[in-house]
Amino acid sequence: MTETARTFVENARQQIGAYVALRGWIYRLRVLSDTAFIVLRDCTGEVQCVSATARLRSLRLKKEDAVEIRGTVRADQRASGGVEVMVEEVLVLGAASRALPFNSSGDIKKVSLNAQLDYRPLSLRTARLKDIFDVKNALLRSFRKFMEANHFTEIITSKLVGRGTEGGTNVFEVDYFGRQAFLAQSPQFYKEHGVVAFERVFETGHVYRAEPHASSRHLTEYYSLDFEVGFIDGPEDVIEIERKLLESMFLDLAKRHKEALERLDAWPLPDIAKAPIWTFDECLARLANCHGLTHLTDDLDPNAERLLCALAEEETGVAAVFVLGFPLSGRPFYTLPRGKEGASQGFDLLLNGVEVTTGGQRHHDHDALRASMSSRSVGPSQFEDHLRMFQLGMPPHGGLAIGLERLTAQILHLRNIRETVMYPRDRNRFSP
């Protein structure tokens, strides 16, 4: 073939009459006695290519082959996008196996999740998975856009730490040149240091939890959207920022990806402005009165989260609720107490039956934080480098973390969080 600059599919639609070179994968293929129809897909879309069957016979084309197709663009209102390409030359750039377990034009929902993950690039080539990842990536971009527009400074913190953020439990140990180190559970300490420096900070990055779950909602490695803000009056300030954040993110998503949301049966998006704030004790009372549940004392289990979202939906029309005032005993040592009854200034956001956010107000007083550590049998001496930062003028502060994969899964009503991850890490899966 002679040298010709590549044209993306979306640009070919505006080049009627032009000779173009397209590159992509064969998405669909129909070969008749005289004419063959190839639907080519690249990162910008799909286009139908029409060829004489005889021209293709020696190539033995099949679905999923990576090819270059050259030909002339012509208008055809019957074709997707209003154009098709009259094929003059075809080059196979990368042949696909004839024994693939599925193909990208089939119904991916009929393929087992394990098979999808074993052949991940192929499953991600499907229209459904592309929609899911487009939504996930849009949420990430919108999170950063909101943060930057509201005086937050982005920080990038280490994922190799010398101790666990929450006292050393559920951490992955790493050999760090003969010394003990861990993969970070959270950027919490670094976020607080960032508050002392910049007042408002945010980070997006992986965090790690060595929790032996084997459920559809847990991962050992997930992507966290974090922010921390100084000079607050209480956790309600953090909740209000999250309301505005999610409203902004969902508005961006609706503007740019409404069609994808409709294809995924995820339209309309939830109106977080309507989500109520219920105290933990109020939640327990509602669960007891409406469902006879009385076994919960210091936390909510998955069934309680589902029931509370259903109750919120009955009252407000949105299956979401902020739960504020969890028992202090179940929250990390840096969480500020709420009153004198053993409650904390910690909260969760439950959405469509699953917790997607954990946040709250933190200790900002050096002596109070040290005392909290001691009361939890966490030696303050282990955290002297962290405590030192609380002598630099730490303001009242708080923040939260949103699991990007969980948020995506709950918005899209997905059955398994692993659908939102390129290569999920959990108790059983460590490869590819």
Q: What is the DSSP string of 263-310?
A: HTT--SPP-GGG--EEEHHHHHHHHHHHH-----SSS--HHHHHHHHH
Q: 122: Cβ–Cβ under 8 A, 6 or more apart, which residues?
A: 64, 100, 102, 103, 104
Mean pLDDT throughout 66-71?
Answer: 98
d(CA 94, CA 340): 67
Distance CA 238, CA 233 (A): 9
Q: Would you say residue 404 has pLDDT above 90? A: yes
Over residues 115-162, the pLDDT tens digits come to: 999 999 999 999 999 999 999 999 999 999 999 999 999 999 999 998
Q: State the pairing for strand pair 200-208/221-230.
A: antiparallel
Reading the block at residue 155, the tokens are 């920080």
At 370, give phi and psi (nearest 5°).
-60, -40
Give the separation between CA 366 and CA 164, rounded to whole angstroms: 19
Residues facing 36 on adjacent strands: 31, 51
> What's the pTM value of the predicted model, to 2 decimals?
0.94
pLDDT value at residue 167: 54
pLDDT score, position 165: 66
Q: ∠ CA 21-26-27 to the nearest 5 degrees?
A: 125
Q: Is the pLDDT of residue 1 over 70?
A: no
The string of pLDDT tens digits covering residues 295-328 is: 999 899 999 999 999 999 999 999 999 999 999 9
How far is Cα 209 from Cα 403, in angstroms, rounded to an integer?
12
Give me the residues paired with residue 35 across strands: 52
Scan for tokens 């009854």, then name that residue: 341
Kindly state the average pLDDT of the residues 47-69. Answer: 96
Check whether 67 has a pLDDT greater than 60: yes
Q: What is the mean pLDDT of the chain?
A: 95
Residue 274 to residue 238: CA distance in whole angstroms: 16
Look at domain 9-94 and name its CATH class. mainly beta
Burial 68-101 (b: 16+ CB within 10 A, else e): bbbbebeebeebeeebbbebeebeeeeebeeeee
Average pLDDT over residues 329-354: 95
DSSP symbols for 192-210:
HHHHHHHSEEEEEEEEE--
| Alpha carbon distance 273, 352 (integer Å) | 15
Does the pLDDT value for residue 166 go beyond 80?
A: no
**SS3 call for 346:** strand
Rounded mean pLDDT, 40-59 = 95
Name, in order, each residue with C-beta under 8 angstroms of 276's C-beta and a sequence gap of 6 or more: 312, 315, 316, 321, 322
- Stretch 368-382: mean pLDDT: 92
Residue-by-residue DSSP string for 29-61: EEE-SSEEEEEEEETTEEEEEEEEHHHHGGG--
CA 173 to CA 88: how far, in whole Å?
58
Question: What's the average model confidence in pLDDT over 91-104?
Answer: 96
Q: Model confidence over 283-292: pLDDT tens digits?
A: 999 999 999 9
The residue extents of the domains of the chain are: 9-94, 127-420
Cis before 235 (ω within 30): no
Render pLDDT for 205-216 as a digit per residue (tens, 0 to 9).
999 999 888 788
> What homologous superfamily is domain 127-420 in, according to CATH?
Bira Bifunctional Protein; Domain 2 (3.30.930.10)
Asked if residues 424 and 414 have their Cβ atoms less than 8 Å apart, the reply is no
Amino acid at 294: T
What is the reported pLDDT for 169? 63
- The predicted model gives 257-263 an average pLDDT of 97
Report which of residues 30 and 379 the model is more confident about: 30
Write out the DSSP string of 113-133.
HHHHHHTHHHHHTSHHHHHHH
Cis peptide before 121 (omega within 30 of 0): no
Phi and psi torsions of 98, nearest 5°: -90, 5
